[in-house]
Amino acid sequence: MKAFVLMPFDTQYNQVYSQVYKPVCTGLGVECWRVDEITRPGSITKDIVEGIFDADIVIADLTSRNPNVFYELGIAHAAGNKTITTTQSIKDVPFDIANYRVIVYKQTRIGLKSLATRLSAAIDDLLRARDRTNNPVQDHILGRRPFTVRDDDLLSKHMDFYKLTRHMRSWLDRNSIRTVGDLQKIEFEKLLVSIGIGQKTITRFLSDLINNNLYHDQEKLNQFLLDHGIRIEAVKP
């Protein structure tokens, strides 16, 4: 799992990133980074857009009404239901998104401690309900088309990652399996012998694939289940 942070590049806010955003994410097993931590040459704007689309979570700090952050937040809204918004002043939040959840905090010792607690809860809530819209763009999109499964959908949109074990989430991340399309390249035999991943975990994972129609080659999957005596109970509609 990955989190990308959007915030003003001002030294006065570095404390918030280094003492709250990054350690909270790391503590939850989520890789966290900002674009200024990328050292390779190239376009910063391109790196930001890639970071937003590659991330499972986007934390947008609207403190000081930075125009770049607002532009990037708009991209994040278009990319999916992945944003968590924070600010040091509710006055920095524009009318368009003021009725969506915003974490308001103070940059004090007690304020940052409270921010860490609330951010951790927000991340947990986001990962539990990725199919729930949390911004005006996704609200509009949901109202225009029926819910379908697409190959470029993030897995977290269709699966409850909170229920997967840490080893299972790490295995998916190591093998760059983040979308429905990525699932199609899974080698189930290698998954079965992976250290730290037991049959109970695999059964739960495969159950999600079947019950959410996420794996295209059902014949191949059914044969694997049969060969290894794995039973999957379908979820009743």
Going through 88-144 in order, the beta strands assigned E by DSSP cover: 102-104
Three-class secondary structure of residue 124 per DSSP: helix
pLDDT at 233 (0 to 100): 59
Asked if residues 135 and 97 have their Cβ atoms less than 8 Å apart, the reply is yes
Mean pLDDT of 204-221: 84
- Report how far residue 26's alpha carbon sits from residue 4's, in angstroms, rounded to the nearest whole number: 12
Asked if residues 115 and 103 have their Cβ atoms less than 8 Å apart, the reply is yes
pLDDT at 59 (0 to 100): 97
Tell whether the model's pLDDT for residue 102 goes beyond 70: yes
Banded model confidence at residue 21, pLDDT cuts 50, 70, 90: very high
Mean pLDDT of 59-73: 96
- Report how far residue 235's alpha carbon sits from residue 78's, in angstroms, rounded to the nearest whole number: 31
**Burial category of 60 from C-beta neighbours within 10 Å (exposed 0-12, middle 13-18, buried 19 and up):** buried
pLDDT at 135 (0 to 100): 82
The one-letter amino acid at 124:
D
Helix, strand, coil abundance in the chain, percent, nearest 5: 55, 10, 35
Class of domain 2-140: alpha beta
pLDDT at 235 (0 to 100): 44
> 128 or 176: whose pLDDT is higher?
176
Mean pLDDT of 206-213: 83
Mean pLDDT of 120-148: 75
CA-CA-CA-CA torsion sign (25, 26, 31, 33) = positive
pLDDT at 131 (0 to 100): 64
With pLDDT > 70 as the criterion, what percentage of the chain qualifies?
92
Tell whether the model's pLDDT for residue 4 goes beyond 80: yes
Domain chopping of the chain, boundaries: 2-140, 155-227
